[in-house]
Amino acid sequence: MGSSERATFNNKVVSWIDERLPVFTLMQKEYGVFPTPRNFNYFWNFGAIAMFMLIAMIATGIFLAMNYTAHVDMAFDSVERIDRDVNWGWLLRDIHMNGASFFFIAVYIHIFRGLYYGSYKKPREILWILGVVIFLLMMATAFMGYVLPWGQMSYWGATVITNLFSAIPLVGDGIVKWLWGGFAVDNPTLNRFFALHYLLPFVIFAVVFLHVWALHVSGSNNPTGIEPKGKQDTLPFHPYYTMKDTFGLLVYLVIFCAFVFYAPDYLGHPDNYREANALVTPAHIVPEWYFLPFYAMLRAITFDVGIPGTDIVFISAKLGGVIAMFGSIALLFVLPWLDTHPIRSARYRPQFRLFLMIFLAAFVVLGYVGSQPADAALAGVPLQVIGLLGTAYYYAFFLVVLPWLNKTEKGKDVPKSIYDAVMAAEGKKK
Amino acid sequence: MTMKRFALSLAAAAVLAPAAAAIAKEAHDVPPPHMHWHFSGMFGTYDKAALQRGYKVYREVCASCHSMKQMSFRNLEGLGYDESQIKAIAAEYTVEDGPNDEGDMFERPGRPSDRFPAPFANAKAAAFANNGAAPPDLSLIVKARHHGPDYVYGILTGYEEPPADAHLQPGQNWNKYMPGHVIAMAKPLSDGQVAYEDESPATVDQYARDVVQFLTWAGDPYMETRKRTGAKAIMFLLVFAGIMYAVKRKIWASVH
C-alpha cells in the first residue's frame, strides 16, 4: 500500500501527514477518482446502505450493551429498563431491533443484484465468497442477538436452533452440550451469546474490509456485465456515486424510520414480550422473518433416507433437514463454478432470467411456508408439500438449471461497450 | 421483464407476504373485534382521562390478581397526575423495606419511586391461589399478544355461556376470544363495579376500553414522544433526500 504513487495536496498539514502515512492518497485513489462504471442503476446503492446499517448497528449496540445485563434473572427486565428508564433508550432499542431487519433487507437485495447481473463470475469469485461469509456471520450474529432479550421466542428459538446440531451422528449431543455450556439453554448460554454477539459484528467489519478490498481490485460489475474498456465507460466515484449513494440511503432511511417510529414491533413477535419460561412452550415457534426461507428448508425434510423396505437409515429426517438448510448456503459458495456461462448479466440471458425469477418466487414462498405451523395448508395443498417443492427447486436451480444453461443458452447480443449501451438507452429515451 | 417492473413486483411481494402470513396465522381463532383507539395511527395520542379511569379499574379490579412489575408510581406522571397526587397515591400502599440498621425488615408507606406492589409474594403463591394458573403480569400484556389492544378488549368483553357440548372443569370459564375458548380467569368486570369520578358510563364496555388504554400506555409509555420524534426525523430525511436528489441530478446532467 505504501509504495504506490502519492497524490498531491495543497493543504500543508494534509501533505505532511500523507508523506508519513498516505491515508489521504488511499482515500483519493479508492473513493475519490476510483473509476466506476457509469451505468449503475439504483440496485447498486445497497452495498453502501448495508455498510451504513452495519455501522448503525454497532453504534446503537455499544450503548445498549452499556445498559444490558446478561443474566437469565435480569436480562428481560434490563431490556425493559432500557425502554423505560434509560434516556432515549427506547430509540436505541427500536433502531437496533429494526436495524437488524433493514440490514438483512439491504443485504438480500444486494445479494440478489449480484445474482441477477452475474457479479459472482470471474474475476469476482473471492469477492462473492467473502460476501457469503458476511451473510453467514450476520445470521449467527442476528440469531444470538435475538436471544439476548430473553423472551419466550429468544429462549425457544435458541433451544430449537442449537438442538439442530444434535442431528450430527455420534458427536451431535456432545456438541450441543458444549454450545449450551450445560444441559439446557441457560445462563452460560446467554452469557456466551452476549459475548459473541458483541464480537461478531467486528469480525463482520473486518470481512467487509476484505470484501471492499477485493472489490477495488476487480472493480465493480455493472448492469451490462461488460468490463469497462476505457475512460468513456467510467466515472470517478466522487462526486457521481457518493452523491447517488447518499440520495439512495436517505430514501431507504425514510422507510426505516417509518418502522422505527410508527411500527417498532411490527417485524418482531409478540411472544418475545413474555419472559423466557422453560416450562411453557409457545404454540408456534418461529424465527425472525429473515430466517424463514431457511427454516422452511429445515422443516421440509420429514422422511428418513435409507434402504427401502428395511430399517436401515443413513440420514434421519432431522439430519436431512439440517443438511438441506446448511447446504442451501454452501451452494452459494460454489455458485461461481456452477454458473460458468460467458454472459454475466441476466439482461442478455432471457432463460437464466426466467429461472432466476422463479428462484426468487420460490424463496419468497419458502419464507411464507416457514412462517406457518408445520401442519398448515394453503388452498388445500399441505404446506409440507409446498415447502418440499420449494426446497427442491432451490437445489435444482443451482445443480441442474445452471449447468444445463451453461451448455444450452445462447443469450442475446451483448453491447460492445458500456458506453454503447448507455448511448443506445439514451437514444431510445429521446 | 425490466428491472423496474421487477422492482415493483418485489415491492408488492414484500407488502403482501406478511399480510398473508398475518391472515393465516390467526385463522383458527376468533379474531377480536377491530376497535378504533385514541392512540391508533400516526397522530394518535393517549386520552389522559381514559388512562386515569383505566388505572382506577386496574387498581380496584385487576390488581387483586395481576402484578405490573415494570411500573413505578412515579410513572403515573404520564397519566397527567402531578407530584403531590402521585405521592398521595403511593402513600395509600404499604411497602416492605429494609433491612434497617438493626437488620430487620419493616413496613412503610409507599413512595413515588416504589414499584406497584404485587398481589402475590411469588409466582408459586400466585398459581396456588388461582387454581394452578398464575395470572400474567400486565406491564406488557398489550405488546405480548397478537392484535394487542383489540385482543385484551376482546378477552374482557368476550365472556359467554359455554356451548352445550363444552365440558368445563370447575374454575374454567368460556371466552369467545381466548384461543381454545377456555380461560381460567373468571369474568372480571360487571356493570357498575367501579365508580367513575367523571360522567363516563359505568359499563363493562367502558371499563374494558379504559383499562386497555391504560395497559397500552403501560407497555409503551413513550409512544407520543416516539411519534413526534418520528415526524421530525422523517421530515428532515425527506427534505435532505430532496436536496440530494437535486444535487445528484445537477452533477449527472453533464454525463447523460
Per residue in A241-259, pLDDT (tens digit) is 999 999 999 999 999 999 9
Is residue A322 classed exposed, middle or buried when 0-12, 13-18 and 19+ CB atoms within 10 A define those classes? buried
Encode pLDDT of A379-415 as tens digits: 889 999 999 999 999 999 999 999 999 999 999 999 9
Side-chain half-sphere exposure of B87, counting CA atoms within 13 A: 3
Catalytic residues of A: 216, 220, 244-245, 288
Long-range contacts: A381-384, Cβ < 8 Å, 24+?
A: A384/A300, A384/A302
Encode pLDDT of A177-196 as tens digits: 999 999 999 999 999 999 99
Q: Which of A38, A253, A274 sits opposite B237 (nearest CB)?
A: A253
Taking contacts as CB-CB distances below 8 angstroms, the residues of chain A near B237 are 250, 253-254, 257
Q: Is the pLDDT of residue B16 over 70?
A: no
Dihedral sign, Cα of residue A18, residue A23, residue A28, residue A34? positive
- Rounded to 10 degrees, the C-alpha dihedral A268/A274/A277/A281 comes to -60
Note the pLDDT of residue B1. 43
- What is the C-alpha to C-alpha distance for residues B240 and A251, in angstroms, rounded to an integer? 9
Inter-chain touch B143–A371, beta carbons under 8 Å: no
Over range B30-34, report the average pLDDT.
Answer: 92
Inter-chain touch A244–B248, beta carbons under 8 Å: yes
Indicate which of B25, B66, B146, B254 best probes the interface with A, i.e. most A CBs within 10 Å of its own CB. B25
Q: Which residues of A393-404 are buried (b: 16+ CB within 10 A; e: fewer)?
A: bbbebbeebbee
- What is the C-alpha to C-alpha distance for residues A254 and A251, in angstroms, rounded to an integer? 5
Dihedral sign, Cα of residue A243, residue A248, residue A254, residue A256? negative
Inter-chain touch B241–A271, beta carbons under 8 Å: no
| Least reliable range by pLDDT among A116-120, A328-332, B11-15, B242-246 | B11-15
Taking contacts as CB-CB distances below 8 angstroms, the residues of chain A near B244 are 243, 246-247, 250
Q: A391, A423, A232: which is closest to A298 by C-alpha?
A: A391
With residues binned 3-state (H G I as helix, E B as strand, rest as coil), the percentages for chain A, rounded to 5, are 70, 5, 30
Residues B105 and B99: beta-carbon distance below 8 Å:
yes
Q: Does A110 touch chain B (CB under 8 A)?
A: no
Taking contacts as CB-CB distances below 8 angstroms, the residues of chain B near A357 are 1, 6
CA distance A173 to chain B (A): 33
Inter-chain touch A372–B25, beta carbons under 8 Å: yes
Q: Does B240 touch chain A (CB under 8 A)?
A: yes
* % of residues, chain A, pLDDT over 70: 99
Q: B167, B185, B205: which is closest to B126 by C-alpha?
A: B185
How far are the Cα atoms of A128, A133, A216, A340, B122 from residue A124, in angstroms, in the given order? 6, 14, 10, 12, 60
In sequence order, what are the beta bridge partners of B94? Answer: B109
Encode pLDDT of B35-73 as tens digits: 999 999 999 999 999 999 999 999 999 999 999 999 999
Written as one string, the DSSP assignment of A375-429 is T-EETTEEHHHHHHHHHHHHHHIIIIIHHHHHHH---PPPPS-HHHHHHHHHHHH
Average pLDDT, chain B: 90
Give the other-Cβ count within 10 Å of A49's Cβ: 23
Residues 343-382 of A with CB under 8 A from B: 353, 357, 360, 364, 367-368, 371-372, 376, 378
Inter-chain touch A43–B241, beta carbons under 8 Å: no
Residues 31-50 of B with CB under 8 A from A: 42
Taking contacts as CB-CB distances below 8 angstroms, the residues of chain B near A353 are 1
Inter-chain touch A90–B144, beta carbons under 8 Å: no
Over range B103-132, report the average pLDDT.
Answer: 94
Q: Does A171 touch chain B (CB under 8 A)?
A: no
* H-helix or E-strand spanning residue B90: helix B83-91
Q: Does A257 touch chain B (CB under 8 A)?
A: yes
CA distance B150 to chain A (A): 14
Cα radius of gyration (chain B): 24
A44: three-class secondary structure by DSSP: helix
pLDDT band at B220 (very low <50, low <70, confident <90, very high): very high
Encode pLDDT of A303-352 as tens digits: 888 888 888 888 889 999 999 999 999 999 999 999 999 999 999 999 99
Residues 164-183 of B with CB under 8 A from A: 179
DSSP state of A338: H
Residues A75 and A148: beta-carbon distance below 8 Å:
yes
Residues 222-241 of A with CB under 8 A from B: 223, 235, 239-240
Taking contacts as CB-CB distances below 8 angstroms, the residues of chain B near A376 are 24
CA distance A218 to chain B (A): 24
Q: Which residue has the higher pLDDT, B24 or A19?
A: A19
- What is the C-alpha to C-alpha distance for residues B22 and B241, in angstroms, rounded to an integer? 33
Indicate which of A243, A277, A292 best probes the interface with B, i.e. most B CBs within 10 Å of its own CB. A243
Inter-chain touch B146–A270, beta carbons under 8 Å: yes
3-state secondary structure B30-85: CCCCCCCCCCCCCCCCCCHHHHHHHHHHHHHCHHHCCCCCCCEHHHHHHHCCCHHH
Inter-chain touch B70–A41, beta carbons under 8 Å: no
Average pLDDT, chain A: 95
Q: Is the pLDDT of residue B4 over 70?
A: no
Encode pLDDT of B63-102 as tens digits: 999 999 999 999 999 999 999 999 999 999 999 999 999 9
Encode pLDDT of A195-221 as tens digits: 999 999 999 999 999 999 999 999 999
Taking contacts as CB-CB distances below 8 angstroms, the residues of chain A near B252 are 240, 244
Residues 1-20 of B with CB under 8 A from A: 1, 3, 6, 10, 13, 17-18, 20
Q: Does B70 touch chain A (CB under 8 A)?
A: yes
